[in-house]
A and B are shown apart, each in its own frame.
Chain A
């Protein structure tokens, strides 16, 4: 069934996908030609893409009411990929406004684009608005998904900052101490990566706790070692190790950056791998 309305959200979201590509090229040229105005243009286009994406998500939410399903658009693989790119974009915009690290725009716009494109163009991902199965009809859904996904967004940003750390660090080592001037200093990158990880860790903790509360409310079991639960706990513990290494043993710099990059692989597996490879309750990957 094709409803006239159901075109608007997917249309807006497809447009946002291409606008993200546009901002990515501005950022890329900004990196290559080292011109400030290219970065500024990249940021402006990026914010534009983000606003279109926001409009698309709102349209989708409204359209789900027209279909009489009426639920927030975060309930299947398509919606979760779009929402993940949205949280990453919003996290980046906030961090940029606070720390002025425009250069991170390239990996971030790339990530936003990749998740959007996977959602829009992969034949295995359906963009249809699906009704909710009874288990998902709960007010916990919003808290649980929003906190978890902003956690993923923060970890993704920390991942980007850590990659830049390694690039900058590598450059300095191979040029006898020259500094890669167009990236933030390694100190700033290390600090941002650490701060985003603790933000991500708190959000992930809240995501796990709300998930457990919900499970207890729906099934009388707050923890059942379902693969998604287990992997989110594993990811949480990986960053617990990061935090203790940093606090107790003073790990920072290159070692911390490598740790943050490996940690993000765990985040990715928790988000996508569990659904695509393993089986369990979080069914959005089975479409």
Chain B
């Protein structure tokens, strides 16, 4: 039994599995962007045909991000990340808290970054000045000695060792937030006309009725348009009621929701409700002016058996602003039509009908407000996880741990070894190592050191071994 568990554990602790899972998630996620998700069944059948529809439906490809197999992939990935983190973290802690200050010669000789530096003075002076001068760029050079010789240990970017684990931890936090949200939260919508109130909303997924612990009342809905006809702002004046008492009131806007006890109401959309009214002024030389309010297609008797009706309306007709199309009827028969512009009352000489002038004043459109009602107790975890994610990425990427040992042999013959290794980012480390060796040479050069040293001969000015 233990063996089985052990094998499962090892299976989930591999980076190879992580890469396979990520590529699977990527490949399948693409499908969901190509096949539009969540459309009505008829649309799919019309587009793909019945048999293809059945096949795609069998694999949940019309709601694939919530399908069992996609969620399984995500869960496997999270398990993978968790196991990888648990597997490696203890060793990392140990490695960081107890750095190897001394290191055997065979290991030093195996390092790719290794150079010999010569120094003409006494060993003690060398160690003292190295420890002193290297403090500038390395937090704490540690000097230790053994029978073989003296070591100076330099380290940078220790925190980077934890970066990947902080990043992985953030994914686990986000996942917990998603789980909390999906079990304890909901996401619903409701459409309300001004004056309406309800405590029942419909869930976005599953399309079921849900009763809220309060009643939402829409006191008013207001919409403004740009001249081009696209909406500029839409706002709902909402009251929340409990036992007929108002417990909250706010005018909500897109990007300005109302939150009450963890339930948030968002201005999501709007729509046209019922008939619109059109204000029109009729003018005639005999009767003067008469204000009219007409619904669409409502016949208004003008004179004898001649009547007019507003047949159509455009918020922005060919760039000229709000416009109505008026039909002239003789009995029930449409005789002619003409257009009237709100902003240009004299357009077309404002065609007269049977001696009556028509001026279009304003359209009163009636709208309903589309509200989204959501509760997500997991969102704070997701937000916290997202912040941890960014911190983890910064820790991992903008730092990396690199260690350098300076080995000065017991029998000091005027040369010592500098060897270093980076946990990753080895290419960048090559540059840094060369720079470090350069500055060590400078520390060892007679111009800096002064009296105690002899200039090194050109022949032993450091040999580049370990590299061809």
Contact = CB atoms under 8 A, between A and B. Distances in A.
Contact of B22 (A135, A195, A241): A241
Interface stretch (B4-12, B339-347, B382-390): B382-390
A202 B397 contact: yes
B255 A220 contact: no
Interface stretch (B115-123, B372-380, B444-452): B372-380
A217 B32 CA distance: 25
A133 B257 contact: no
A247 B34 contact: no
A206 interface: yes
B228 to A, nearest CB: 7
A248 B379 contact: no
A227 B33 contact: yes
Looking at chain B, what size class is its interface with the partner chain?
35 or more
A220 B257 contact: yes
Contact of A222 (B382, B426, B428, B431): B382
Contacts of B30: 230, 234
Interface stretch (B53-61, B139-147, B231-239, B355-363): B231-239
Looking at chain A, what size class is its interface with the partner chain?
35 or more
B199 interface: no
A209 interface: yes
A134 B26 contact: no
Nearest to B63: A225
Interface stretch (A11-19, A20-28, A29-37, A186-194): A186-194
B372 A219 contact: yes
B219 interface: no
A198 B23 contact: no
A278 B254 contact: no
B101 interface: no
Contacts of B372: 219-220
B235 to A, nearest CB: 9
Contacts of B453: none
B26 A248 contact: no
A176 to B, nearest CB: 17
A51 interface: no
A203 to B, nearest CB: 10
B393 A205 contact: yes
Contacts of A225: 32, 37, 65
A149 B228 CA distance: 29
B233 A238 contact: no
A219 B428 CA distance: 44
B393 A218 contact: no
A69 to B, nearest CB: 8
B390 A206 contact: yes
B427 A221 contact: no
Contacts of A137: 233, 254-255
Nearest to B232: A131
A230 B424 contact: no
A133 B383 CA distance: 26
A134 B22 contact: no
Nearest to B253: A134
Contacts of B397: 198-199, 201-202
Interface string A243-264: 0111111101000000000000
Interface centre among A187, A205, A249, A278 (most CB of B within 10 A): A205
A279 interface: yes
B226 interface: yes
Interface centre among A137, A201, A231, A249 (most CB of B within 10 A): A137
A249 B424 CA distance: 10
Contact of B430 (A187, A212, A241): A187
Contacts of A133: 230-231
Given A191-B427, A205-B389, A134 B255 contact: yes
A230 B32 contact: yes
A166 B430 CA distance: 21
B182 to A, nearest CB: 11
B43 to A, nearest CB: 13
Contacts of B387: 209
A237 interface: yes
Nearest to B70: A225
A216 B427 contact: no
Contact of B26 (A199, A222, A237, A278): A237
A131 B226 contact: yes
Contact of A241 (B23, B226, B234, B382): B23
B36 interface: yes
A181 interface: no
B29 A247 contact: no
Given A187-B427, A230-B33, A231-B33, A220 B187 contact: yes
B394 interface: yes
B233 A234 contact: no
Given A218-B255, A237-B22, A245-B19, 19 more contacts: A134-B267, A187-B427, A190-B427, A191-B427, A191-B428, A191-B431, A198-B398, A202-B390, A209-B387, A212-B386, A219-B268, A220-B187, A220-B376, A221-B187, A225-B32, A227-B33, A230-B33, A252-B427, A274-B33
28 contacts: A134-B231, A137-B254, A138-B255, A191-B427, A201-B393, A202-B394, A209-B386, A209-B387, A209-B389, A212-B382, A212-B386, A213-B386, A216-B383, A218-B255, A219-B266, A220-B374, A222-B379, A230-B32, A234-B29, A234-B30, A237-B25, A240-B22, A241-B22, A244-B15, A252-B427, A278-B33, A278-B34, A279-B36
Interface of A: 131, 133-135, 137-138, 187, 190-191, 194-195, 198-199, 201-202, 205-206, 209, 212-213, 216-222, 225, 227, 230-231, 233-234, 237-238, 240-241, 244-250, 252, 274, 278-279
Interface of B: 15, 18-19, 22-23, 25-26, 29-30, 32-34, 36-37, 65, 164, 187, 226, 228, 230-234, 253-255, 257, 264, 266-268, 372-374, 376, 379, 382-383, 386-387, 389-390, 393-394, 397-398, 424-428, 430-431
Q: Which 7 A-B pairs have the closest CB atoms?
A: A220-B374, A134-B254, A198-B397, A227-B33, A225-B65, A209-B386, A138-B255
